[in-house]
Amino acid sequence: MPAKTSFRTIGRVRSPFRRPGDITPEILASPTAFDNIKGEIRIHSRYAPGLKDIDGFSHLIVIFAFHKAGPPKLLSLPPGQTERRGVFATRSPHRPGGIGMTVVRLLGRNGAVLRIAGVDMIDGTPVLDIKPYTSRDRKIDIRQGWREEAGGTIRARSRRVKVPKQAALPAVPEQELPGSKGPGDPRRKNRAPSRSAGRRS
């Protein structure tokens, strides 16, 4: 039996996407649909000192948990495709390890709250780690496997995508976010005012 490993949650995501169904296959098929979707990462107060010097980076790598993805599927049907692929050759959220990664643009910081754009996570997503995106992460001469063969289909579907106007983030108290521990939760100290979100391209 595979060994189980536990992780500490360092914060939570605030996102205009309330549930997995809000991120439709049509949106996922577009390479730019999430670019202007804005949200926040609220870091638990005990980890806030670790944000020192993060302001100088334009983009961040966010490691998170797919907490509402459901059971894993070893074969996945990518958005806009007709052939199933191995889960490790896709970005499917239905992963055996339940871990996701994304790159977001850092818009600013207010204490333990990071304002970000490029949000493709749902509201309340547990954040496991944050790393700065640097030049060493930019690769050239890459191969994209089946995506290169399906590139024409992906681009055609992308042109037809219409992303609805994004609603503002509601002012939900931090202790009401999924996984909080009530009034004594240190995240209450990090509560930031609600901010208007942008519109996806």
Quick one: average pLDDT of 135-139? 90
**151 found inside a domain:** yes
Does the structure show a pLDDT above 90 at 109?
yes
Does the structure show a pLDDT above 70 at 156?
no
Query: Coil, helix or strand for 191?
Result: coil
pLDDT at 27: 77
| List of residues 6+ apart from 194 with CB closer than 8 A | 168, 169, 170, 171
**174 found inside a domain:** no
**Contact indicator for 112, 191 with CB cutoff of 8 Å:** no
Q: Whole domain around residue 20: which residue ranges?
A: 11-135+143-164
pLDDT at 191: 38
Question: How many domains in the chain?
Answer: 1
Q: Model-level pTM greater than 0.85?
A: no
Does the structure show a pLDDT above 80 at 1?
no
**170 found inside a domain:** no
pLDDT at 140: 87
Alpha helices by DSSP H, listed for the chain, are 25-28, 146-149, 151-159
Q: What is the pLDDT of residues 16-72, one digit of tens each?
A: 999 988 888 777 767 788 888 999 999 999 999 999 999 999 999 999 999 999 899
**185 found inside a domain:** no
Does the structure show a pLDDT above 60 at 152?
no
- CATH code at 96? 2.40.30.70
**199 found inside a domain:** no
Q: Which of 96-105, 134-143, 180-189 has the highest mean pLDDT?
A: 96-105
**194 found inside a domain:** no
Which tokens in the block code for residue 136? 């060493």
Q: Bigger pLDDT: 136 or 160?
A: 136
pLDDT at 188: 39
**36 found inside a domain:** yes
pLDDT, mean over the chain:
79
Quick one: average pLDDT of 88-99? 93
Quick one: average pLDDT of 146-150? 79
**188 found inside a domain:** no
H or E element that contains 114: strand 113-117
